[in-house]
């Protein structure tokens, strides 16, 4: 018995219209059910990967792990921000009393702390 052309080529094929195309399968369903937000740091990481780490970006995209990776980066970054912010505020004397008495000074100090923490996040998590 003679093998069909599809058996010789290997793999499975599906009929789309008048043509048979390789059945490449579906990406992991985890992508579709992952409802965590992408967030600021995830979007920055995606842009960085597209522009500076193209092979890694393509690998994550083709393996179906890109969105999960970006959401993980965002969660790690947000966790670090939430952990360091109270520590830095305590170390630099940024209190609620300062907020009540000198609001502009408090805002300036908090913005400075946020900038310091974001530099850590970018250098340790996002731009790696």
pLDDT digits (tens, 9 = 90+) for 22-52: 777 654 444 456 788 899 999 999 999 999 9
Q: What is the pTM of this model?
A: 0.72
Per-residue pLDDT tens digits for 81-99: 999 999 999 999 999 999 9
- Longest CA–CA separation in the chain, Å: 91
Pull the structure tokens for residue 49.
Answer: 């990967």
Task: Output the pLDDT for position 1.
Answer: 46
Q: What are the sequence ranges of the domains in the chain?
A: 27-126
Find the helix or strand (DSSP H, E) in which 14 lies. strand 13-16
**Whole-angstrom distance, CA of residue 101 vs CA of residue 95:** 10
Handedness of CA 89, 90, 93, 97 (dihedral sign): positive
Look up residue 127 and give its DSSP letter: T
* Adjacent-strand bridge partners of 13: 22
């Amino acid at each position: 018995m003679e093998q069909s052309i599809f058996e010789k080529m290997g793999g499975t094929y599906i009929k789309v219209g008048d043509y048979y195309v390789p059945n490449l399968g579906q990406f992991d369903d985890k992508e579709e059910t992952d409802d965590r937000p992408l967030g600021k740091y995830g979007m920055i990481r995606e842009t960085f990967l597209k522009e500076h780490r193209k092979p890694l970006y393509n690998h994550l995209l083709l393996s179906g792990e890109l969105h999960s990776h970006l959401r993980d980066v965002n969660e790690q970054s947000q966790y670090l921000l939430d952990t360091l912010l109270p520590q830095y505020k305590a170390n630099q004397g940024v209190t609620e009393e300062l907020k009540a008495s000198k609001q502009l000074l408090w805002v300036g100090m908090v913005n400075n702390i946020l900038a310091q923490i974001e530099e850590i996040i970018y250098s340790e998590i996002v731009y790696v």
